[in-house]
Amino acid sequence: MEKLAALVICWLAMVMPMGQCSIEGPEEVYNWFHKLPYAEEKVSKLHFYFHDTLSGKNPTAVRVAQASGSAKSPTFFGVVFVIDDPLTEGPEATSKELGRAQGLYGSDGKEEVSLLMAMDFVFTSGKYNGSSLTVLGRNPVFHPLREMPIIGGTGVFRLARGIATVKTRSLNTTTGDAIAEYHVVVIHY
Ligand SMILES: *[C@@H]1O[C@H](CO)[C@@H](O)[C@H](O)[C@H]1NC(C)=O
Ligand SMILES: *[C@@H]1O[C@H](CO)[C@@H](O)[C@H](O)[C@H]1NC(C)=O
């Protein structure tokens, strides 16, 4: 019964103009591009919290590299982290998980702490389950408000472009653990 329901949903998604049910093959992707001239752009807004945990037994952000001078640098210049950070609906760690932020960030400011963020928001629940957005941009983490470009996506977010605005909600200066609030607005099809 469940299988049948899944098939019907899948079929519905296939006959919808720009819909998808799961990862599509090259033919389907090509056809999707072919239909683009008739597709309508839409604007979607997303809101979630990003939990960057460096401390404890199960960190979601790990330091993988640094330069010989990084330890003495007041801006941690040259340090690189790989992350798999939960994205949640609310600010609490126990709040519903919407996806993960997977990628890396590196400290690339000598005068001021700033991170180059290169990451994907991989959605694993809700209406964007199975789709992703890619962020590539500068994050001067001590500014009250930052803006980073969304440069693409997959699934329902194919060819997405947009902006993420970011505020730090909490930062433990001893451990480096942080929670940031993300507002994302994207144009997609
Ligand atoms: C998300 O999609 C995957 C793959 O289609 C599915 O297995 C999973 O149950 C979905 N998760 C939720 C929370 O809907
Ligand atoms: C920061 O983390 C340390 C170690 O877990 C903890 O002892 C301390 O209370 C935390 N500080 C704040 C402000 O939460």
Pocket of ligand 2 (CB under 6 A): 55, 172, 174-175
pLDDT digits (tens, 9 = 90+) for 95-111: 999 999 999 999 999 99
How many angstroms separate the CA atoms of 100 and 119, rounded? 10
Please work out whether the CB of residue 23 comes within 6 Å of at least one atom of ligand 1.
no
Mutation probe of ligand 2 site: the residue of 53, 54, 170, 172 with most atoms within 8 A of C-beta = 172
- pLDDT recorded at residue 23: 81
The number of CA neighbours under 13 Å toward the Cβ of 178 is 14
From the CA of 179, the nearest ligand is 2
**Counting Cβ atoms within 10 Å, is residue 156 exposed (0-12), middle (13-18) or buried (19+)?**
buried
Q: Whose CA is nearest to atom 14 of ligand 1?
A: 125
- pLDDT recorded at residue 3: 55
From the CA of 10, the nearest ligand is 1
- pLDDT recorded at residue 5: 55
Q: Is the pLDDT of residue 4 over 80?
A: no
Q: Is the pTM of this model over 0.85?
A: yes
How many angstroms separate the CA atoms of 134 and 123, rounded? 11
Length of the chain: 189
Answer whether 148's CB lies under 8 Å from 117's CB. Answer: yes
Atom of ligand 1 nearest to the CA of 126: 14
- pLDDT recorded at residue 45: 98
Domain 39-188 in CATH 2.40.50.1070? The answer is: no
- pLDDT recorded at residue 15: 45
CB within 8 A of 139, min separation 6: which ones?
105, 114, 115, 116, 117, 146, 148, 166
* E strand map for 60-124: 61-65, 80-88, 97-107, 115-123
- pLDDT recorded at residue 17: 45
- pLDDT recorded at residue 125: 95
Q: Which three-class secondary structure state does DSSP give residue 6?
A: helix
Region 8-29: mean pLDDT is 63
How many angstroms separate the CA atoms of 86 and 186, rounded? 20
Please work out whether the CB of residue 126 comes within 6 Å of at least one atom of ligand 1.
no
Q: Whose CA is nearest to atom 5 of ligand 2?
A: 175
State the DSSP H helix or E strand holding residue 183, giving kind and residue range, or none if neither. Answer: strand 178-188
**Mean pLDDT across the chain:** 91
Region 51-78: mean pLDDT is 97
Region 58-82: mean pLDDT is 97
CA of 56 to the centre of ligand 2 (A): 11
Residue ranges covered by each domain of the chain? 39-188
Strand partners, 138: 116
